Chain A
Amino acid sequence: MFELGMKNNIRVLRAERRWTQADLAKELGVSRNSVNAIENGKYDPSLPLAFKIARLFEQTVEEIFEDEG
């Protein structure tokens, strides 16, 4: 529950497009709380959501999420 999630560069990608967290949440169909938790590495998204994020930013999942294992 309290472990840190995977690192990701969603915040950077979002900033490049000048989107707010609310904009991104709307695009993904999730709440702004979800976007915030994912950006801060507090929550790892499900595979479907990770792929949705990757498609939205036109990148691969591996380019967005960094495996620390």
Chain B
Amino acid sequence: MPTSTRSQIVASIVIFLGVAYLFAFDAPFIATVIFAVLCVVWSAWAFISIFRGSDELQSASIRYALAVASGIGVPLSLAFVMLMIATPGIQGVITSIAAFSKSGLSPAATGFALGVTFSLIMLCAVFAISQSVWWASKR
């Protein structure tokens, strides 16, 4: 697995932990803005590196993973969120998470945030797995 893949996985974990922190604690508004800016900068760098990277094998692996993540990861994420919504007792869980959180979000907003977060986790997982499989096939 190349360094770029590892750095993307680390970045995804950091972003997830950052979102979890902002969600769980009453973070100042400026912290949220700084975190959002960092996420945008990271995304821009990742996007540019796909097309400007000197190594075409690496670029090909990223393009492949993006194609799989968008073609398979998106329907999988939607199915996962739909299953979450249909799970009995999920509203109680979301209400307790909202009560635990110090961010002051309503249960509806908490449910939305959790849905988006789990979708992103699913997309990142599909991206990382497909890219790892691609590299393994090229050895």
Chain A positions near chain B (C-beta within 8 angstroms):
1-2, 29-31, 33-34, 36-37, 42-43, 45-46, 49
Contacts and interface: CB of A to CB of B under 8 A. Distances in A.
B16 interface: no
Interface string B53-67: 011111010001000
Residue among A29, A43, A45 with most chain B CB within 10 A: A43
Interface bracket on B? 10 to 19
A30 B138 contact: no
6 closest pairs, A vs B, by CB? A34-B57, A37-B138, A31-B55, A42-B138, A30-B55, A2-B137
Contact of B56 (A1, A2, A36, A49): A49
Interface string B118-139: 0000000000000000110111
Given A1-B64, A42-B139, A33 B134 contact: no
Given A1-B134, A1-B137, A2-B137, A43 B64 contact: no
B138 A43 contact: yes
B137 A34 contact: no
B2 interface: yes
